[in-house]
Chains A and B, each alone.
Chain A
Amino acid sequence: MKHLSVNHLLGINELSQEDIQLIFHMADSFNEVLNRPIKKVPTLRDVTVANLFFESSTRTKISFELAEKRLSADIVNFAANLSSLSKGESLIDTVNNILAMRVDVVVLRHPNPGAAYFLSKNVDSVIINAGDGCHEHPSQALLDSYSIQQKLGSIKNKKILIVGDIKHSRVALSNILCLQKLGAKVRVCGPSTLIPKFLTNMNVEVSFDIKDSLKWCDVANILRIQIERQNLNFFPSSREYAMLFGVNKKILDNINKDILILHPGPINRGVEVTSDVVDSNKSIILDQVSNGVAIRMAILYLLSAKMKSKY
């Protein structure tokens, strides 16, 4: 079997369809491992991973950390607010100092788009992008597509709707790229102020009508409304957003069609989606979280397999 075509996971853009299917195949095996009484395997016991989070994160960080621990890797954690960054140190100096302690893999979350790419060109270790600004969040897109494939059997020719703040969402961009590579038809829906113009060049349908879009789709991936960006007034109020673009049980009941509901979290219940949808049997939000660990184990395994042995 062939290795991944890439040495780092910087974005979905660099991956081939075969790479994505290889990651999914490995994730199946790791899902089985995660169901064992003892969920740990010794595969990466000689690998050290640094989780560098220059931006806050809950589930991505925990998910990566758990994946690393399940594979027996050694871990160092770094949070920007507690580091020398506040004393004026540059990104490359911080990372070089950590690498001088012989770290093999860096999992990087950073507010600037391209930060992971920059690191991959300047340091000698494997870089995994865990979100770089508004650019990409590849592991999230992979686990979303994997969760859909797990439920529907295949993604090819499926109609996938992405709802919400597309403009600021790295999850949206990575999802669009990943779904299209796997042969899905993608549509986005949200306030016009939050839909970037470049989407039309990416062969993505754009709609401003949530009811029509839900009727069209097989799967709806509902993104978080980024309340922290609300002072920029992309839409008048959360209440108005909920009325125009919120997904609730009443709309879904009227459509009378089986639609899978995904959400990358954290959820603003009652804004982009109501509790009765989140907690319904149509929602695979918790499957996404469980699959996240398996997908990240697969990524770590496949990228580590390409590193030279130290012996």
Chain B
Amino acid sequence: MSNIKKIILDHSQLNLTINRLCFEIIENHISNIENSVLVGMQPRGINLAARIHQILEKNTRKKIKNGNLDTTFFRDDFRRREDILIPKKTSIDFTLESKNIILIDDVLYTGRSVRSALDALISFGRPKSVELLVLIDRRFSRELPIQPKYIGKSIDVIENEYVVVSWEDTEPTVTLLNEQI
């Protein structure tokens, strides 16, 4: 790809980062991990959530619930775009009432998707707490007061650059692109 500006995390760095995030979760949740659930945000957060879910279950030897959340109907840009917003699948077949939720996305940018996810979560019950986990935090580009608790890596990126995690590859990496592909 010609528009690759730089590699932010190569495959082994990505694995290390995800493992560290998992141990941070375990450190904070181990006393009551049965009450913790993972929720991956559609479309790209679900891959990270699935990886984290696998590692957490392996390391804690406990069953942990993992769901996917689409936030389309809660977004604030309906009727403000040229294209139409088509939702992906939401699959949360358990209640979130009184649960400690770890909301997971791959890249945090303006914070607007997370805002809509917070609203969407409430449809499944009133959680005890919600924490945000992101693989990449694009600092200084937030448009809403949203702050992640678990951060893989913080980067400073200008507006026209894009961060992409290649989940579909056998050895995924995180790259910075000059323009959106």
A residues bordering B, Cβ < 8 Å? 1-3, 25-26, 29, 32-33, 36-43, 302, 304-305, 307-309, 311
Contacts and interface: CB of A to CB of B under 8 A. Distances in A.
B70 to A, nearest CB: 7
A29 B87 contact: yes
Contacts of A29: 70, 72-73, 87, 89-90
B83 A308 contact: no
Contacts of A42: 73-74, 119
A307 B123 contact: no
B168 to A, nearest CB: 20
The 8 closest A-B pairs by CB, nearest first: A41-B73, A38-B123, A309-B79, A29-B87, A1-B86, A43-B73, A36-B123, A3-B84
Contact of B79 (A2, A25, A41, A304): A304
B83 A1 contact: yes
Contacts of A32: 89-90
A269 B80 CA distance: 49
A308 B87 contact: no
Nearest to A301: B73
Contacts of A36: 123-124
Contacts of B79: 304-305, 307-309
Nearest to B123: A38
Given A41-B123, A309-B80, 8 more contacts: A2-B83, A3-B84, A26-B87, A29-B72, A29-B87, A29-B90, A37-B95, A39-B123
Nearest to A45: B78
18 contacts: A1-B83, A2-B83, A3-B83, A25-B86, A26-B87, A29-B70, A29-B89, A29-B90, A32-B89, A33-B123, A36-B123, A37-B95, A38-B124, A40-B123, A41-B73, A42-B74, A305-B84, A305-B85
A2 B81 CA distance: 12
B124 A37 contact: yes
Nearest to A28: B89
Contacts of B78: 43, 305
B73 A33 contact: yes
Contacts of A307: 79
B125 interface: yes
Given A33-B73, A41-B73, A41-B74, A311 B125 contact: no
B101 to A, nearest CB: 15
A2 B95 CA distance: 34
Specify which of B79, B87, B89, B90 lies most central, judged by the most chain A CB atoms within 10 Å of its CB: B79
Contacts of B73: 29, 33, 41-43
Interface in B57-80: 70, 72-74, 78-80
Nearest to B77: A309
Specify which of A25, A305, A311 lies most central, judged by the most chain B CB atoms within 10 Å of its CB: A305
A41 B160 CA distance: 32
A105 B87 CA distance: 23
Given A1-B83, A3-B84, A43-B78, A37 B89 contact: no
Contacts of A305: 78-79, 84-85
